[in-house]
A and B are shown apart, each in its own frame.
Chain A
């Protein structure tokens, strides 16, 4: 099997799985308990948080462990607004993940002035348009760092600078789920990360909340995470995340180079084929791990099924949208419609994919295109 759907989730690294296992079967204690093995577990969690903070170039006190990207995004959006009085403007981009668009829709129902900033043909937020939308009453801007479907990278530093100038009291939340450990860190007020996108287990994530930014918790209970996120500490998840991040940090340039090489190889193989289009930024400009291409004259889902039978796992878009019918929201926002939208496939890579997998994948795709295009609508 060739697995090119790493933006949906990744295989857990053996070191990460082992760390998680150790804290499930050996050091299983509730870190809030008083006896010494529990205190030791608590210290391990704190140390892990310290290492994660160091990697993110922030303070440990600025991190909240969560259950993953969706919880981080919800906490950032609802939590930061709940801590402020009144309503006002909230800006999101047209290509955000559902865990941002759905909270935004709910805010809109509660009287917030939710506006959407468009993206250019590459899927990146239009900075000029964003500037025109920033008002003195803007409370929150939520923009993703790397788009999960096409790999476009937003200029977060420029967005933050514009906000500081035009709406000094607004907060910037960045959904960094597809960017953490893959792109350099960016200035912002809140940043979401998720473990299972970088070879840690599912069910663990974190939210960075800049010191001084107030958040109202919405999970209340035992007061874990400094009262910001109640619930028994997910020690195995945290230690699994810690191990995965440590592995990434130790190999960061090698991992980037590998991922990029696989992407460029698949891109160059596929771009030689007839009626193939690249969606998103230029292959060497976008995120190293995401490639979105359209195969004209075939339907993405049919091609995906055919590739799956040959052992190649890819997706037609976000896994979180795979059960919904209708147009692809992201590609539509980028101005990609019709045949090109219908035939779009997302490939997403991890550092452990190989160039030879890219070659095999390209061959499988070429074979299937030959078959399917014989049956294109006449």
Chain B
């Protein structure tokens, strides 16, 4: 039996004349995700077919492809010559693996024929193949509404026969929507925000601020690991590690205590914007959610937005912590996010941060100290790691 992977794509099929652009990107992303597993990718209508993956690697390949954005679902399928006897034989072999001795099963045949020259139409395939299965497997019965076993047959250049459909991550192929910079803290929210925007087709760079020596090596390892986990979906991520201690200490010494958090946020955005611009990114992404903490009130968001001219994407803005946590668990970043290391935002925090900052006050505080030299230095000392 020759096994292939049928890869269905989601939203791309809504595209018009530029559909080939999205398809090519998806092919590239699939090839990258399969990596050492190899395989040859052929584009068909509404589907891609991956051939040349060994049977023992099929489940690993499905697992990898289930994390590629732009894919609706994946089915490991038997590819065979479409002569009818051959189709029946392979369908029976597949069914034989699913039928458990001494147990009743309901089933239904789902047939689809894109080769309109085939001798029998879809309805006919369903009827005839169903009949053949009933003859061979007495424990089967037909249930057209809620079948336990869905036996699917597609007649194209060849016949493809399968019983499973693994859901994909959906969304748009990463890289087709341009590039944006994710502010990655090490908490629960920002990896989820990065995931969500990559799902809309953005390729990501990540910017992390750390307070050496007051944050530990382990906190840094944690951020590298989070970036790696996001890159399982988003592809390669260039991670910029920005030393932030000098700026933080200056803020604390020179500026009013209640403004420190919001000033820190503004300066982080400014640095991230400069790194983003130099990397060809056109937007910033943060994990902020309205009202979650003092720096995420509407007033605070207005003040942080004002620090930069790039658009700031906040995909979690309307989500509860509980929802965000559930998503983090789902994409596999939660357990790493909750490792208990101090990060730059918790090392120096005021007891009572301002919740309704006034823009003019902050601009005045910022102007009272020359931060530009310090920002230049932070960017010059930034370390780059390429992950994924």
Contacts and interface: CB of A to CB of B under 8 A. Distances in A.
B216 A305 contact: yes
Interface stretch (A50-58, A256-264, A370-378): A370-378
Q: Interface residues of B toward A: which range?
A: 10 to 19
B249 A375 contact: yes
Contact of A374 (B252, B339, B341, B347): B252
Interface in A287-334: 299, 301-302, 304-306, 308-310, 323-326
B349 A377 contact: yes
B20 to A, nearest CB: 49
A299 B342 contact: yes
Interface string B42-54: 0000000000000
Contact of B213 (A309, A323, A324, A375): A309
B347 A323 contact: no
A281 to B, nearest CB: 28
A375 B252 contact: yes
Given A299-B342, A302-B342, A323-B339, A309 B212 contact: yes
A300 to B, nearest CB: 10
B350 A374 contact: no
A372 B347 CA distance: 10
Contacts of B351: 377-378
Nearest to A307: B213
Interface string B240-258: 0000000001001100010
B281 to A, nearest CB: 31
B344 to A, nearest CB: 11
B216 to A, nearest CB: 5
Nearest to A376: B348
B355 to A, nearest CB: 16
B340 interface: yes
A301 B341 contact: yes
Contact of B340 (A325, A375, A378): A325
B199 to A, nearest CB: 30
Given A301-B341, A378-B351, A306 B257 contact: no
B215 interface: yes
Interface in B221-260: 249, 252-253, 257
Interface string A31-70: 0000000000000000000000000000000000000000
Given A308-B213, A308-B216, A375-B252, A302 B350 contact: no
Interface string B347-374: 1111100000000000000000000000
A378 B257 CA distance: 6
A306 B215 CA distance: 8
Nearest to B341: A301
B249 to A, nearest CB: 7
A242 to B, nearest CB: 35
A188 to B, nearest CB: 35
Nearest to B213: A309
B214 A306 contact: yes
Contacts, number: 39
B342 A305 contact: yes
Nearest to B342: A301
A313 to B, nearest CB: 12
Nearest to B215: A305
B248 to A, nearest CB: 8
B339 A377 contact: no
B213 A305 contact: yes
A302 B338 CA distance: 18
A69 B345 CA distance: 38
B212 to A, nearest CB: 7
Contacts of B252: 374-375
A249 to B, nearest CB: 38
Given A309-B213, A378-B257, A324 B348 contact: no
Most buried by A among B213, B342, B351: B213
Contact of A305 (B214, B249, B338, B349): B214
A302 B339 contact: no
A375 B216 contact: no
A302 B249 CA distance: 14
B347 A325 contact: no
A307 to B, nearest CB: 9
B216 A374 contact: no
A308 B342 CA distance: 14
Given A374-B252, A377-B351, A378-B351, A306 B213 contact: yes
A375 B342 CA distance: 15
Contacts of A323: 339-340
Most buried by A among B214, B340, B351: B214
Contacts of A302: 214, 342, 347
A312 to B, nearest CB: 11
B255 to A, nearest CB: 11
Most buried by A among B212, B216, B339, B351: B216
B92 to A, nearest CB: 48
B214 A325 contact: no
Most buried by B among A302, A306, A326, A375: A375
A378 B252 CA distance: 10
Interface string B327-348: 0000000000011111000011
Contacts of A308: 213, 216
Nearest to A371: B249
A297 B213 CA distance: 18
Interface in B37-92: none
Contacts of A301: 216, 341-342
A20 B380 CA distance: 49
A239 B347 CA distance: 46
Contacts of B213: 305-306, 308-310
Contacts of B341: 301
A324 B342 contact: no
A181 B214 CA distance: 36
Interface in A130-160: none
A325 B337 CA distance: 12
A306 B249 CA distance: 14
Contacts of A299: 342, 347
Interface string B257-268: 100000000000
A297 to B, nearest CB: 12
A374 B252 CA distance: 8
A378 B214 contact: no
23 contacts: A299-B342, A301-B216, A301-B341, A302-B347, A305-B213, A305-B215, A305-B216, A306-B213, A306-B214, A308-B213, A308-B216, A309-B212, A310-B213, A323-B340, A324-B340, A325-B338, A325-B340, A374-B252, A374-B253, A375-B249, A377-B349, A377-B351, A378-B257
Given A308-B213, A309-B212, 5 more contacts: A299-B342, A302-B342, A305-B342, A324-B340, A372-B214
Interface of A: 299, 301-302, 304-306, 308-310, 323-326, 372, 374-375, 377-378
Which 6 pairs of residues, A with B, have the shortest CB-CB distance? Answer: A309-B213, A325-B340, A378-B257, A377-B351, A305-B216, A375-B348
